[in-house]
Amino acid sequence: METTETLVRLKTEAPARIAAAASTEELDELESEIVGRSSPIAAGRRSLGQVPPEQRRDLGRAINDVAKELEALIAARRAVLASAEADAALADDAVDITLPSRIPSRGTTHLVQQVMDEVVDIFVAMGYTVATGPEAETEFYNFTALNFPPAHPTRLESDTLYLEYGDDPEGVLLRTHTSPMQARYMEQHDPPVYLVVPGRVFRRDQVDSTHSPVFHQLEGLAVDTDVTFGDLKGALDHFAREFLGTEIETKFIPHHFPFTEPSAEMHVYANGRWMELLGCGMVNPAVFEAVGYDPDVVTGFAFGIGADRLAMVRHGITDLRHLFDPDQRILEQYR
């Protein structure tokens, strides 16, 4: 009798609860409560064994009818909820194709590279060829072939970064300037030579607003039968006017380099002061001898332009560190 009452209650109350289920999840819970393994329906079925045989059939049928009816309601409600949920998921996922697209950030050639490319172009227009050389260099090409005496102070580890690399008898280092390419190139090519060599160089320097252990140079070398200091000044003045404008003032100040004689620095007047831009000079006959050129037949000049300096002078940058800082807000100003 008890089972019958429960069934009647279920039959009258459950349909409203099924209709009120707000999600398939809620409906699942309801389903196991109403028709699941521990539901009154399952309990009723289990109790059939104790029911007198003459009632068993009717009661069994009644249980099955209620179960079927409620299962049908649950299935119908599930279909409605599932389709609403699928619609909502689709709406959530929708892409608004009228939104503006995300613009990928555009990279730039680094300012120092732009400067080197431009300087190379200026010399190529004067008939120079371009070459590059190794950054890990032998002490021979970096110093010895360039007439640095064995005890020259810049050979010391306090100035130069040595590498533990290979078995070169004179040692391997990070080149301190692009000048070793003078010797390498002349060894491989007969004169005349008109050469420009852009590249990265390394010195044991502390970082500050004008120093960096890594910086950039452009080496130049002109060797022919009658090259004069006047040619050197003419070529470098032309370069300065092309790169910094025709109004730029230059001056040459005597200096010393082991591989040039005489030697000079070229300064330019920019941003209210004189700035050293490059070292230069007439190729020392000792260098010609080291590479197998006849110093009685050829003369030449060489120069080494500081590319980072050049960028600073032209763009009024006062701190070298900006050029080695990966801050896009700075870098993207120089497109």
Largest CA distance in the chain: 135
Give the residue with the Cβ less far from ligand PHE, 40 or 281.
281
SS (H, E, C) 177-220: CCCHHHHHHHHHCCCCEEEEEEEEEECCCCCECCECCEEEEEEE
Of residues 171 and 279, the one with the C-beta less far from ligand PHE? 279
Question: Which of 14, 281, 287, 323 is in the footprint of ligand PHE by CB under 6 A?
Answer: 281
Among 70, 115, 193, 302, binds ligand PHE (CB under 6 A): 302
User: Taking CB under 6 A as the rule, which mask of x and - marks residues 178-217 in contact with ligand PHE?
Assistant: -x--------------------------------------
Per CB under 6 A, which of residues 62..91 are in contact with ligand PHE? none
Give whichever of 3 and 147 is closer to ligand PHE, judged by the CB atom.
147
Is residue 311 within 8 Å of residue 112, measured between CB atoms?
yes
Least Cα distance to 197 among 267, 143, 116 occurs for 116
Cα 299 to Cα 301: distance, rounded to the nearest angstrom? 7
Is residue 171 a contact point for ligand PHE (CB under 6 A)?
no
Q: Which of 15, 11, 10 is nearest to 77 (CA)?
A: 15
**Given the rule CB under 6 A, which of 115-123, 135-143, 205-213, 255-263 is the region that contacts ligand PHE?**
255-263
Q: Is 260 in the site for ligand PHE (CB under 6 A)?
A: yes
Rounded CA separation 34/77 (Å) = 14
Q: Which residues pair with 329 in a beta bridge?
A: none
State the minimum distance, in angstroms, from the CB of residue 125 to ligand PHE: 21
Residue 148 engages ligand PHE in binding (rule: CB under 6 A): no
**β-sheet with 162-163: strand ranges across:** 136-138, 172-174, 162-163
Q: What is the nearest approach in angstroms of ligand PHE to the Cβ of residue 278? A: 7
| Single residue of 279, 298, 311, 323 touching ligand PHE by CB under 6 A | 279
For ligand PHE, the closer of residues 14 and 277 by Cβ is 277
Are 255 and 263 spatial neighbours (Cβ–Cβ below 8 Å)?
yes
The residues that bridge with 230 in the sheet, in sequence order, are: none
> In this chain, which of 70, 303, 308, 317 binds ligand PHE, going by CB under 6 A?
303
- What is 253-291 written as a DSSP string? EEEEETTEEEEEEEEEEETTEEEEEEEEEEEPHHHHHHH
Which of residues 174, 280, 312, 320 is near ligand PHE by CB under 6 A?
Answer: 280
Segment lying near ligand PHE (by CB under 6 A), choices 57-65, 225-233, 296-304, 310-318 = 296-304
Q: Give how far Cα 286 sits from Cα of 254, 260, 261, 302, 324, Å.
A: 20, 9, 10, 14, 37
| 257 makes contact with ligand PHE (CB under 6 A) | yes
Q: Which residues of this protein are in contact with ligand PHE, per CB under 6 A?
A: 177, 179, 257, 260, 263, 279-281, 302-304
